[in-house]
Amino acid sequence: MVQYDCIFIPGGGLLPDGSLPPWTLARLERTLSLHSKTRWIAFLSGGTVHKPPPLTEEGFPIFESRASAAYLASKGVDTRQLLTEISSYDTIGNAYYSRLLFAEPMALHKLLVITSEFHLPRTRVAFEWVYNLLPQSINYQLRFESVPDQGLSPQALNARKTSEKKSLVKLRKTQDTITTLAAFQTWFYTEHAAYAVKIQPERLSGDVLESY
């Protein structure tokens, strides 16, 4: 029985050779177990602003969402069920483009977001913010599920959790001032470091970079 119109999987990064890290594979394995209960599966993220993308042997960038989709296809999931998005480079972008490209034009109501435990609190706030921006023509039903933080060293996991908490505080302040899609889009393309022309994105280093 179909329970969801779509399952969204935010990108979890790629290893230097272009393969999927264990924490992303955990998200995909959970999605695989649910693929018969959803109409669509949408993989989100082109990459990250924090480090360069891995490249194919021909020199083309490997997109996170495409790598994740290929993994589920290799497990036997019908490719006609799979959607990919390569415009976003952070969690807020994941939420925005998932609504803009899939949920609204395809009239998707019942949505499940699957991500890692370390990523869930900020993911929930970002998606609930974006999906409640006005005008809202669809009564979205958002659910969230986390999977274990597999494959990260204790140092990297602690660094990522610290980074997530700081980003969540900043996100909550931002969402309080932006309540419409029009205001969001203006902010997104003029003030968000991952998408605004005038701002240089932050380049991470140290332990936290292992989780991207």
Q: Which residues pair with 83 in a beta bridge?
A: 42
From first to last of its 212 residues, the chain has per-residue pLDDT tens of 899 999 999 999 999 999 999 999 999 999 999 999 999 999 999 999 999 999 999 999 999 999 999 999 999 999 999 999 999 999 999 999 999 999 999 999 999 999 999 999 999 999 999 999 999 989 999 999 999 999 999 999 999 999 999 999 999 999 999 999 999 999 999 999 999 999 988 888 899 999 99
Counted domains in the chain: 1
* Contacts by residues 195-202 (CB-CB < 8 Å, ≥ 24 positions apart): 195/89, 195/93, 201/49, 201/50, 202/49, 202/50
* Nearest one of 133, 34, 120 to 75, comparing CA atoms: 34
pLDDT of residue 203: 84
Distance CA 87, CA 93 (A): 8
Asked whether the beta carbons of 68 and 20 are under 8 A apart, the reply is yes
CATH code assigned at 192: 3.40.50.620
- The range of the structural domain enclosing residue 128 comes to 4-211
Q: How high is the pLDDT of residue 202?
A: 82
Structure tokens at 40: 């669509």
Q: How far apart are CA 57 and CA 61, in angstroms?
A: 10
Please tell me the pTM assigned to this model: 0.96
